Amino acid sequence: MNNPDPHPDLSRGITFVILMHVIVLPLLGLVIYVLTMDDPGYLIPHWMSTYFMIGIIQWANELPVNLFYERRKRPELVKGMVIGACATFLLNGGCFVLLGLSLV
């Protein structure tokens, strides 16, 4: 009755992407907060730009990790990371459109 996961690296790759975002987003928010401490009127537009910048952050932290695991011959892990990155892209795009439509 014990069915092991046939693609454990695929699910690890997706989980790895989620964990990278969980670590990076609060740090990015903290940096934006520190940069806008002297003028709180700009805090809301900068927080909105955090959601836009997740795409740039995604490229910056996932591309080197993908290349690292590709050289280590772990294609299933890289596939999982690409799936996680695509899911992040779609969620980010949808949220950005909803946010943009609510501001119009």
Q: What pLDDT score does 68 carry?
A: 92
Q: Which amino acid, one-letter code, is at 12?
A: R
Helices (H) then strands (E): counts for the chain: 3, 0
Separation CA 47–CA 57 (nearest Å): 15
Separation CA 22–CA 10 (nearest Å): 19
pTM for the whole thing?
A: 0.72
Site of tokens 């928010």: 29
Range picked from 27-31, 38-42, 63-67 for highest mean pLDDT: 63-67
* CA angle, 60 then 84 then 23, to 5°: 55
Q: What is the mean pLDDT of residues 42-59?
A: 66
| Lowest model confidence (mean pLDDT) among 23-37, 67-81, 85-99 | 23-37
